[in-house]
Amino acid sequence: MVYRNKIKRTRLSKGMLQIQLAAKTGIYFSTLNRLERGWLKPTEAQKKKLARALKVSIEELFPIVPKSQEAQNSNEKRKLESRQ
């Protein structure tokens, strides 16, 4: 999931802690943590809340990635994990 690091990078660039972003969006801290790690896929409502709180567009925070590129990224991630 490409967006996982994008949420965290954007949050950090704004100087926010996870707990601050959770409070600002109304998203549970544990849910936000899972979203940032890529363990959960955000709902449309969560995407809107996060983009609004971080003052960026939804498209900037959650870029549309072609399925073929997403599959390639997953394969590369698996290769890296198997080396460790």
Q: What is the CATH number of the domain that holds 10?
A: 1.10.260.40
* pLDDT for position 55: 97
DSSP string over 6-70: HHHHHHHHTT--HHHHHHHHT--HHHHHHHHHTSSPPPHHHHHHHHHHHTS-HHHHS----HHHH
* pLDDT for position 15: 97
* pLDDT for position 4: 63
Structural domain boundaries, residue 66: 3-83
Q: How many domains does the chain have?
A: 1
Tens-digit pLDDT profile for the chain (84 aa)?
Answer: 556 679 999 999 999 999 999 999 999 999 999 999 989 999 999 999 999 999 999 999 988 776 665 555 555 555 656 666
* pLDDT for position 63: 84
* pLDDT for position 7: 94
